């Protein structure tokens, strides 16, 4: 006899058994697996969709183009695709196309022979060779110089390239994942990006939503970063005042998750006790900030309640329904057992214990 614990929400039966609920439950499971594997925090429908795409495309060798605003987590998603692929034991080789001067990028990608150009004092193996059996991640692909684009297209199409200063043709078996925060289609129209390369990259596009489009993820991310930085700085912050959380959820986050991460790091630095301190000026909440979109179903309160529900459910899933004790959901959420009980009651979450025979 083994005890199995699961949570159910106090919803009408008909709501729980509709196909949409089943679809959501499946994607929630997918999200949970990849979240754990790759340290991706969040449970919004938008993020679950992205993680569903990751799951589908990872086992294939297809080229993936990850698009999204700065700081949304594109690199994290690229890593997730690699980790969930059959190449996961191979290298994940990153190249930031914006950080390398145009004249050095070709040698960075494809390598060079000694004496290939002034300063090439030794042979250098390029990133495509280094990534053999693994994945090349080309970040900020929109910054790839036009003159280098045909060579990248050739690796993608024919898997062939040459080291600078060497006429021998080499083959690459690396998988390519590219990311950009730019509108490549618009760049093609402006003739700043080759159409043929765009088509080759855009085999499987994945769009990571801006944080303001998934405010439900904010409380989860806030708690995650507070715990992470508290641990690193040897602090024991366990309470996030609700006015601070509300302000964080309302903020438009033009710099997305990276900006949120930085704000929380600063807040943890200045907090001395158990309670997180954050000045409202820090957030520079401006009257003309765009309103938070809540996927069209209701007010900010509804969004916050849904976020809290998701957070509690995620904690209960992690602790397999255990509420109290050091490994219980209450401790994980940084609240007392009785507070968690009353929040669960208010939000219609209950833990169902059933016994099953094995």
Is the Cβ of residue 178 or residue 304 nearer to ligand ATP in the bound state? 178
**Least separation in angstroms between CB 82 and ligand ATP:** 13
Q: How far is the CB of 41 from ligand ATP (least distance, A)?
A: 4
Q: Which does 219 bind (CB under 5 to 8 A by kind): ligand ATP, Mg ion, none?
A: none
Which CB atom, from 138 or from 331, has the smaller least distance to Mg ion? 138
Least distance to ligand ATP, CB of residue 131, Å: 18
75 part of the interface to Mg ion, by CB under 5 A: yes
Q: Are 180 and 38 in contact (CB under 8 A)?
A: no
Residues 128-147 that bind Mg ion (CB under 5 A): 139
Cβ distance 203 to 66 under 8 Å?
Answer: no
Q: Which is nearer to ligand ATP, 76 or 170 (CB)?
A: 76
State yes or no: residue 259 binds Mg ion (CB under 5 A): no
Identity of the residue, 75 or 317, whose beta carbon is nearer to Mg ion in the bound complex: 75
Q: Tell me how far, at minimum, the Cβ of 181 lies from ligand ATP, in Å.
A: 5
Whichever of 135 and 172 has its CB closer to ligand ATP, that residue is 135
Structure tokens at 51: 């993680």
Helix (H) or strand (E) holding 67: strand 64-67
Nearer to ligand ATP, 201 or 257 (CB): 257
Q: Given the complex with ligand ATP, which of 74 and 87 has the nearer CB atom?
A: 74
As measured in angstroms, the least distance from the Cβ of 51 to ligand ATP is 10
Q: How far apart are CA 46 and CA 69, in angstroms?
A: 14
For residue 279, what are its two tokens?
């000045």
Q: Provide the β-strand partners of residue 94.
A: 137
48 binds, among Mg ion, ligand ATP, none (CB under 5 to 8 A by kind): none
Binding site for ligand ATP (CB under 6 A): 39-42, 68, 70-76, 139, 181, 257-258, 261
Least Å from the CB of residue 149 to Mg ion: 20
CB of 48 vs ligand ATP, minimal distance in Å:
11
Q: Which is nearest to 178 in space by CA: 203, 147, 145?
A: 203
List of residues 6+ apart from 137 with CB closer than 8 A: 75, 78, 79, 82, 92, 93, 94, 95, 177, 178, 179
| Residue 41 interface partner, choices ligand ATP, Mg ion, none, CB cut-off 5-8 Å depending on type | ligand ATP
| Least gap, CB of 274 to ligand ATP (angstroms) | 24
Q: Name the closest residue to Mg ion (Cβ).
A: 75
Q: What DSSP string describes 176-228?
A: EEEEESS-HHHHHHTTSS-HHHHHHHTTEEEEPPPGGG-TTHHHHHHHHHHHH
Q: Which is nearer to ligand ATP, 128 or 137 (CB)?
A: 137
The entry of Mg ion, ligand ATP, none near residue 42 (CB within 5 to 8 angstroms by kind) is ligand ATP
CB 8 within 8 A of CB 353: no
Residue linked to tokens 């990571």: 208
CA dihedral 104, 105, 109, 114 (to 10 degrees): -10
| Residue 250: count of CB within 10 angstroms of its CB | 19
Q: How far is CA 8 from CA 73, 86, 234, 305, 350, in A?
A: 31, 35, 36, 17, 6
Q: From Mg ion, ligand ATP, none, which one binds at residue 35 (CB under 5 to 8 Å depending on kind)?
A: none
Residues near Mg ion (CB under 5 A): 75, 139
């Amino acid at each position: 006899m083994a005890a199995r614990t699961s949570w159910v929400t106090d919803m009408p039966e008909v709501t729980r058994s509709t196909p949409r609920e089943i679809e959501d439950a499946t994607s929630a499971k997918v999200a949970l697996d990849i979240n754990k594997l790759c340290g991706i925090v969040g449970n919004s429908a938008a993020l679950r969709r992205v993680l569903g795409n990751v799951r589908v495309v990872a086992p294939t060798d297809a080229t993936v183009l990850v698009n999204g605003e700065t700081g949304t987590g594109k690199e994290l998603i690229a890593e997730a695709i690699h980790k969930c692929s059959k190449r996961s034991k191979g290298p994940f080789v990153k190249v930031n196309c914006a950080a390398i001067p145009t004249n050095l990028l070709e040698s960075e990608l494809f390598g060079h022979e000694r004496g290939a150009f002034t300063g090439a004092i030794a042979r250098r193996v390029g990133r495509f060779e280094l990534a053999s059996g693994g994945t090349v991640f080309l970040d900020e692909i929109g910054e790839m110089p036009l003159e280098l684009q045909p060579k990248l297209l050739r690796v993608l199409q024919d898997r062939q390239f040459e080291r600078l200063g060497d006429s021998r043709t080499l083959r690459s078996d690396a998988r390519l994942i590219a990311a950009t925060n730019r509108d490549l289609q618009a760049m093609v129209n402006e003739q700043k990006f080759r159409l043929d390369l765009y088509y080759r990259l855009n085999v499987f596009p994945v769009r990571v939503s801006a944080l303001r489009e998934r405010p439900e993820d904010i409380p989860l991310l806030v708690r995650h970063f507070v715990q992470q930085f508290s641990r690193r700085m040897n602090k024991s912050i366990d309470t996030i005042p609700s006015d601070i959380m509300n302000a964080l959820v309302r903020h438009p986050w033009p710099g997305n998750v990276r900006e949120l991460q930085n704000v929380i790091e600063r807040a943890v630095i200045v907090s001395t006790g158990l309670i997180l301190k954050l000045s409202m000026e820090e957030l520079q909440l401006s009257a003309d900030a765009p309103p938070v979109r809540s996927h069209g179903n209701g007010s900010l309160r509804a969004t916050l309640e849904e976020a809290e529900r998701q957070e509690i459910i995620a904690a209960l899933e992690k602790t397999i329904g255990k509420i109290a004790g050091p490994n219980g959901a209450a401790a994980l959420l940084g609240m007392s057992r009785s507070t968690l009980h009353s929040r669960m009651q208010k939000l219609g979450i209950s833990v169902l214990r059933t016994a099953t025979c094995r």
